[in-house]
Structure 1
């Protein structure tokens, strides 16, 4: 073999090795932008660590059903896990883990989401997006306009505050109660505050609770708070005035909700206009028919998790158990509304109880050591081959 051939082959080997390194090394993990490099490596929970979200399943309503048993409970838990898995998958979060757990009489779903790289801001945004998507596992409710505020309505607001306080006193975590009441009732604020005096000036308060004790009286509503440290408080604020909407009920007192609702889907009119079609079960069709007869010319609002999604006007009585919502300008807009409505069709609501960071079992440092060890091993083999076989060994 001539000297020129040897030099040419060595040169080709170096070029190929360099290109392989450029393509295979996860440069993005080290915040280095290299053109034509391979895809980012997803390290998963073991290597990168992540976040663990603990959701409590609210089985109170389900347990009141005469047919409730362990089989039904298992179906509810598995159904919720499937829903959460689909929502996490839509967010393009791979390698997540979704498991159920039991704590005494409570059922929980544990969602573990791996972090992506070392970008703290990006990871924070991803976690908040995941929490928002998963946390929408809540109930749907149909409501009509409130024409007046009665003493009974005001009393109901006070009872809501008392029930929330009662649950906290019974040992239910403050965060769980806060999330539960915000998602199930309107005109309720939750959050964190550093200065309660400023909060009171802005909102007023009728009653406030600190460490389960009633403190003062005000006019704006009911303030329940828990002191976290010297400067921060978690709070639930139940406004004294009810919202502009009330539950849509038929003459038998039945409330139109997820129990009578099947699904929302996108359909198209003969003119090609996107519409959102609502489908009710047989009983729901009858309730909806009575409501639309009574509310012709008025609005029926759809709430999911206490959030108003849409409030279409009733043009005529609808008895066939199906209705369409018009006004969507694009198919994407119709799909979004249908998807948001369907988030309220769940076997049971869930509420976030805790959030904690998961340490990596192996860790990024260990991965770096593995890469260095691999390169060192490769170099040792290369040196051995060169010593024994000279140039032929190097090319091999």
Structure 2
């Protein structure tokens, strides 16, 4: 009996040592990732309360591989939360009543508005052509609605909801000259240092696969700086649209050959971080329906 106990202890010790050797980091980068995993576990298990959000994943009926779509949604949300600084957040999948759900728990969170915007964004981005604009809500003016049909475009508001742009996806009505959901290889918030500007902007880079299309778009929309005040130029502005909201509308004064561009708009640091996180993580492969958003009280007293 005693020898069996000793043998069991030795086996457990060998397994433990092997486990440590296999997982122990071999480089500084690996160590950081290794530490982040344990940090996330520790903080996720801290009983200190926080925010809890739950969403139903609306997978289209007849989708070829629903479980993969849910996995991809999880990955996009995990990447978004990490990029926006929510590294302590826990993201998990659940299944009930023939539906898939995503639950996000953010320890010690004091508000959910920012996280809800980050999670709820579809992340669908495209570059379009502004052919007109209005300070009147087009839904209240039949003439503006008719104009959209004539121009083969749609009215979209800016972030503040006080200006509407008539945006066309197909640039200059050239067949197939459009760029929807481009691959974004980098996106970062940086201070806007232009004279008279305050706040932040977001610089980004389109992947090599889409950079050539982006170059052709800027070639078609390019307007000499001296001509930006003309009526013709007003119909050749570039729009950067995210979630059907115009994030940027402006003139292209030179061809952009390398896919590097920026979105300006006097963003706050938090807004710029959130926008960059959404651009980097890409579009959600399915729509999310919010089920609940609330607070989880600490299980133990402080």
CA contact (8 A) 2:248 2:264 kept: no
| Distance (Å, rounded) in 2 between the aligned partners of 1:328 and 1:128 | 21
Q: Which has the higher contact order (CA 8 A, sep 6+)?
A: 2
Give 1:313's aligned residue: 251
Alpha carbons of structure 1 residues 293 and 111: separation in structure 2 relative to 1, 3 Å: same
| Distance (Å, rounded) in 1 between the aligned partners of 2:157 and 2:265 | 27
Alpha carbons of structure 1 residues 253 and 60: separation in structure 2 relative to 1, 3 Å: farther
| Distance (Å, rounded) in 1 between the aligned partners of 2:165 and 2:46 | 47
CA contact (8 A) 1:276 1:338 kept: no
Match of 1:251 among 171, 174, 192: 174
Alpha carbons of structure 1 residues 111 and 351: separation in structure 2 relative to 1, 3 Å: same
Measured after TM superposition, the shift of residue 305 of structure 1 is 2.2
Task: Give ranges in structure 1 of 5+ residues lacking alignment.
Answer: 1-41, 117-122, 161-184, 190-237, 269-273, 369-396
| Distance (Å, rounded) in 1 between the aligned partners of 2:44 and 2:67 | 33
Could you say what the CA RMSD is over the residues aligned between the two structures, in angstroms? 4.9
| Distance (Å, rounded) in 2 between the aligned partners of 1:337 and 1:359 | 24
| Distance (Å, rounded) in 1 between the aligned partners of 2:107 and 2:145 | 50
| Distance (Å, rounded) in 1 between the aligned partners of 2:78 and 2:62 | 18
Match of 1:363 among 285, 299, 302: 299
> Relative to total residues, which structure has the larger strand share, 1 or 2?
2
TM-superposition CA deviations, 1:280-323 (whole Å, max 9, x none): 343x33432332222111421212223333334222444x4523
TM-score by length of 1: 0.42
Alpha carbons of structure 1 residues 43 and 278: separation in structure 2 relative to 1, 3 Å: closer
Task: Give ranges in structure 2 of 5+ residues lacking alignment.
Answer: 1-41, 134-143, 191-200, 224-235
Give 1:53's aligned residue: 53
| Distance (Å, rounded) in 1 between the aligned partners of 2:244 and 2:218 | 22
3-state DSSP of counterpart to 2:215: helix
| Distance (Å, rounded) in 2 between the aligned partners of 1:105 and 1:152 | 44
| Distance (Å, rounded) in 2 between the aligned partners of 1:188 and 1:87 | 25
Alpha carbons of structure 1 residues 69 and 152: separation in structure 2 relative to 1, 3 Å: farther
Please identify the structure whose Cα radius of gyration is greater: 1
1:261-276 matches, within 5 Å, as 261-265=183-187, 276=203
Give 1:83's aligned residue: 79
CA contact (8 A) 1:85 1:98 kept: no
> Relative to total residues, which structure has the larger helix share, 1 or 2?
1
Give 1:26's aligned residue: none
| Distance (Å, rounded) in 1 between the aligned partners of 2:219 and 2:288 | 36
Give 2:213's aligned residue: 287
CA contact (8 A) 1:263 1:345 kept: no
CA contact (8 A) 2:205 2:260 kept: yes
